[in-house]
């Protein structure tokens, strides 16, 4: 009967995983912006997670501009932040509106 119990526990675990993907246990991630660079430049997350970009510069404002969709955040100034939740799996390449040399990538796993 022990194997049956394990099988049931595994199924319960999978259910918990599904709930996490649905947002119940979604994680939060941070990308810091310092010296015209996103750190980390590449970040892998799970669907339903939220990423917050934090401007740690002294003077410069930045944005987050997704290459695929053209969606762009507001410009955010030193000390400010901007968050986005990622529901759809995929690769999200982004840059900074005013500074196209800045590059970042968010990989969203199912």
Q: Does 46 bind Cu ion (CB under 5 A)?
A: no
How many CA atoms lie within 13 Å of 64's alpha carbon, on the beta-carbon side? 22
Q: Does 51 bind Cu ion (CB under 5 A)?
A: no
Q: At 53, is the secondary structure helix, strand, or coil?
A: strand
Q: At 12, is the secondary structure helix, strand, or coil?
A: helix
Q: Does 99 bind Cu ion (CB under 5 A)?
A: yes
Q: Which stretch binds Cu ion (CB under 5 A): 21-29, 55-63, 68-76, 84-92?
A: 55-63
Q: Does 64 bind Cu ion (CB under 5 A)?
A: no
In this structure, the number of other CB atoms found within 10 A of the CB of residue 42 comes to 13
Q: Which of 96, 104, 106, 108 binds Cu ion (CB under 5 A)?
A: 96
Residue 92 CB, shortest distance to Cu ion, in Å, is 17
H or E stretch covering 13: helix 2-21
Q: Does 65 bind Cu ion (CB under 5 A)?
A: no
Q: Does 82 bind Cu ion (CB under 5 A)?
A: no
Exposed, middle or buried: residue 33 (CB in 10 Å: 0-12, 13-18, 19+)?
buried
Q: Does 62 bind Cu ion (CB under 5 A)?
A: yes
Interface ranges with Cu ion (CB under 5 A) = 62, 96, 99
């Amino acid at each position: 009967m022990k194997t049956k119990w394990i099988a049931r526990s595994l199924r319960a675990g999978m259910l918990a995983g599904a709930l996490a993907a649905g947002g119940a246990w979604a994680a939060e991630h941070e990308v810091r912006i310092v010296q015209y660079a996103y750190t980390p430049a590449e970040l892998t997350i799970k669907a339903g997670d939220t990423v917050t970009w934090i401007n740690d510069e002294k003077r410069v404002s930045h944005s987050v501009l997704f290459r695929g969709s053209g969606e762009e955040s507001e410009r955010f100034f030193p000390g400010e932040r901007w968050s986005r939740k990622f529901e759809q799996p995929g690769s999200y390449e982004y840059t900074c509106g005013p500074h196209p040399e800045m590059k970042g990538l968010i990989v969203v796993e199912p």
